Structure 1
Amino acid sequence: MKKRVGVLFGGRSVEHEVSVITGMQVIENIDKTKYDVVPIYISKEGKWLTGSSLMNFKNFKEDNLKDAKEIIMTPVFRDNKYYTHPEAIGFLGKKLMETVDVIFIALHGTNGEDGTIQGLFELIDIPYTGGGVLASSVGMDKVTMKDVFKAHGLPIVDHIWFFRKKWFENKEEIIKEVEEKLGYPVFVKPANLGSSVGITKAKNRETLMDSIEIAIRYDRKIIIEKSVENPREVNCAVMGYDDNIRASLCEEPVGWKELLTYEDKYINSNTKGSKGSSRNIPADIPEETTKLIQDTAQKAFMAIDCRGNARIDFLLDKEGKVFVNEINTLPGSVAYYLWEPMGISFKDLISELIDISLAAHKEKNENMYSYDVDLFKRIEFGGSKAKKI
Structure 2
Amino acid sequence: MKRVLLLYGGRSSEHEVSCLSARSVLAVIDRSRYEVVPVGITREGRWTLTDGVIESAAGRPLPEVADAGPTVALVGGKDGARLIQVDEDGESARVVGRIDVAFPVLHGPWGEDGTVQGLLATVGVPYVGADVTASSIGIDKGAMKAAFAARGLPQGPYATVHRRRWDADPELVAATLEDRLPYPWFVKPARQGSSIGIGRVGERHELGAALVEAYGYDDVAIVEQGFAAPRELEVGVLGNEDIAVTAPGEIRPSHDFYDFEAKYLVESELVVPAEVADDVAERIDHLAREAYRAIGCRGMARVDFFLTEDAQLLVNEINTIPGFTPNSMFPRLWDAEGVRYPELVDRLLDLALATDA
Q: 1:46 to 1:205 in 2, by over 3 A?
A: same
Q: Does 1:136 align with 2:135?
A: yes
| Superposition deviation, residue 255 in structure 1 | 4.5
Unaligned runs of 5+ in 2: 59-63
Instruction: Report how many residues are paired.
Output: 346
1:290 counterpart letter in structure 2: A
Q: Distance in 2 between matches of 1:196 and 1:51?
A: 28
Aligned pairs for 1:28-47 (under 5 A) are 28-47=27-46
**1:254-308: per-residue Cα shift (whole Å, max 9, x none)?**
34655222111012226xxxxxxx2110001111111111111111011101011
Could you say which structure has the larger radius of gyration? Answer: 1
Which residue in 2 is equivalent to 1:299?
A: 290
- Residues 232 and 256 of structure 1 are in contact (CA less than 8 Å); yes or no, is this contact kept in structure 2? no
SS of residue matched to 2:186: strand
Which residue in 2 is equivalent to 1:342?
A: 337
1:294 counterpart letter in structure 2: D
Please, which of 314, 318, 334 is the counterpart of residue 323 of structure 1? 314
Q: Distance in 1 between matches of 2:98 and 2:315?
A: 41
Q: Distance in 2 between matches of 1:51 and 1:197?
A: 27
| CA root-mean-square deviation | 1.9
Q: Distance in 1 between matches of 2:67 and 2:240?
A: 40
Aligned pairs for 1:210-289 (under 5 A) are 210-242=209-241, 244-255=242-253, 257-269=255-267, 278-289=269-280
Q: Distance in 1 between matches of 2:101 and 2:65?
A: 27
**1:95-130: per-residue Cα shift (whole Å, max 9, x none)?**
243221000110000101011111111111110001
Which residue in 1 is equivalent to 2:70?
A: 69
Q: Distance in 1 between matches of 2:311 and 2:54?
A: 42
Which residue in 2 is equivalent to 1:147?
A: 146
Which residue in 2 is equivalent to 1:176?
A: 175
Q: Distance in 2 between matches of 1:175 and 1:286?
A: 39
2:218 counterpart letter in structure 1: D
TM-score, reference length from structure 2: 0.92
Which residue in 2 is equivalent to 1:385?
A: none
SS of residue matched to 2:217: coil
Q: 1:25 to 1:205 in 2, by over 3 A?
A: same
Q: Distance in 2 between matches of 1:117 and 1:6?
A: 12
**1:187-242: per-residue Cα shift (whole Å, max 9, x none)?**
11110001111111101110112211211111111111111222110011111002
TM-score, reference length from structure 1: 0.85
Q: Distance in 1 between matches of 2:194 and 2:94?
A: 39
**1:352-376: per-residue Cα shift (whole Å, max 9, x none)?**
1111111111xx6xxxxxxxxxxxx
Q: Distance in 1 between matches of 2:178 and 2:11?
A: 36
SS of residue matched to 1:97: strand
Which residue in 2 is equivalent to 1:15?
A: 14
| Superposition deviation, residue 173 in structure 1 | 1.6
SS of residue matched to 2:246: strand
1:57 counterpart letter in structure 2: I
Q: 1:94 to 1:134 in 2, by over 3 A?
A: closer
Which residue in 2 is equivalent to 1:273?
A: none
SS of residue matched to 1:105: strand
Q: Does 1:355 align with 2:354?
A: no
Deviates more, 1:67-76 or 1:112-121: 67-76
Which residue in 1 is equivalent to 2:50?
A: 51
1:299 counterpart letter in structure 2: E
Aligned pairs for 1:375-386 (under 5 A) are none
Q: 1:34 to 1:6 in 2, by over 3 A?
A: same
SS of residue matched to 1:45: coil
| Superposition deviation, residue 94 in structure 1 | 6.8
| Superposition deviation, residue 65 in structure 1 | 4.8
Aligned pairs for 1:61-210 (under 5 A) are 61=57, 65=66, 68-78=69-79, 81-88=80-87, 95-210=94-209
SS of residue matched to 1:33: coil
2:248 counterpart letter in structure 1: C
